[in-house]
Amino acid sequence: MTSAQRSLFNVKALNHDYSGVAVLSDINLEVATGERVVILGPSGCGKTSLLHILSGLMSARSGTVDIEGKAPQPGVSSALVFQNPRLLPWRNSAGNIDVVLKSHSKQQKKQRIDELLSRVGLQDHACKWPHELSGGMKQRLALARALALQVPLLLLDEPFANLDPLAREDMQGVLTNLTSLPSGPSMTTVLVTHSVEEALIIGDRIILMAGSPGRFVKEIRLSLGADGEDRRASPEFYIHLADISNQLRSIAKA
């Protein structure tokens, strides 16, 4: 984070355990408004636990999380998008967004829903039910619902892991184009993924985690001179890809 950027949240000396077994150890992180941070690490190293603490869904054993000067609150300071879209099957696409909209008139809700569906490419599917949507469309809808909360921090826990390669690539493009909303605050993003390519396409900064207990071991700041899929045109993309992949293999073996 440069001196010109405003800090959105700080994590200091964070530690957590389950039944006495250390899960996270001395996690420290400062993220600027509008920044896209990606966390990479082996399965079971505590990435999801960290997101749950950032979201306010659970509390750490020790340490602090400060989001715009306050403790995290689900749906207030952040929105969390899961690997499973978790849509309400008894509500159509518009209804799944409507359920999180508060303090809006009926007309305002309709305008907001139309805007969000358009931004994720589902403007022609407002009346479809979740079972009528493809996997990629369901994740688009889950993302639109998260954005409807108009919170400053978007947390994503491997949201594209179950998609086929083309749908995954499509969703990566959608996400990189949704860093801000015209009627809302800049979106700061923390993404957990196992895909190095995805991290390089989406992230401004990549953090590598090791496990037993979960801890940050390296930070990589990216300056690829492009965004999204256009980053693949940079030779540095493939240098980073090989280097980070090798580092993750070493972490997994340690």
Lookup: tokens for 69: 């000067």
Which contacts (CB < 8 Å, 24+ apart) does range 166-173 have?
Answer: 167/134, 167/135, 167/136, 168/136, 168/198, 169/229, 170/136, 171/136, 171/139, 171/140, 171/143, 172/198, 172/201, 172/202, 172/228, 172/229, 173/228, 173/229
pLDDT in tens, 138-167: 999 999 999 999 899 999 999 999 899 988
**CATH for 7-86+153-253, options being 3.30.70.141, 3.40.50.300, 3.50.50.60, 3.30.390.50:** 3.40.50.300
Lookup: tokens for 110: 């309709």
pLDDT in tens, 83-129: 999 999 999 999 999 999 977 788 999 999 999 999 899 999 999 99
Q: Is the pLDDT of residue 181 over 60?
A: no
Supply the pLDDT for residue 3. 46
Supply the pLDDT for residue 183. 52
Closest CA to 179 of 199, 198, 202: 202
pLDDT in tens, 3-55: 456 899 999 999 999 998 999 999 999 999 989 999 999 999 999 999 999 99
Taking the alpha carbons of 109, 158, 1, 210 in that order, is the dihedral positive or negative?
Answer: positive
Contact status, residue 142 vs residue 94, Cβ threshold 8 Å: no
Confidence of residue 179 (pLDDT cuts 50, 70, 90): low
Tell me what the mean pLDDT of segment 242-254 comes to.
Answer: 93
DSSP 8-state code for residue 173: H
139 vs 183, higher pLDDT: 139
Contact status, residue 246 vs residue 197, Cβ threshold 8 Å: no
**pTM, to two decimals:** 0.92
Supply the pLDDT for residue 186. 57
Supply the pLDDT for residue 102. 78
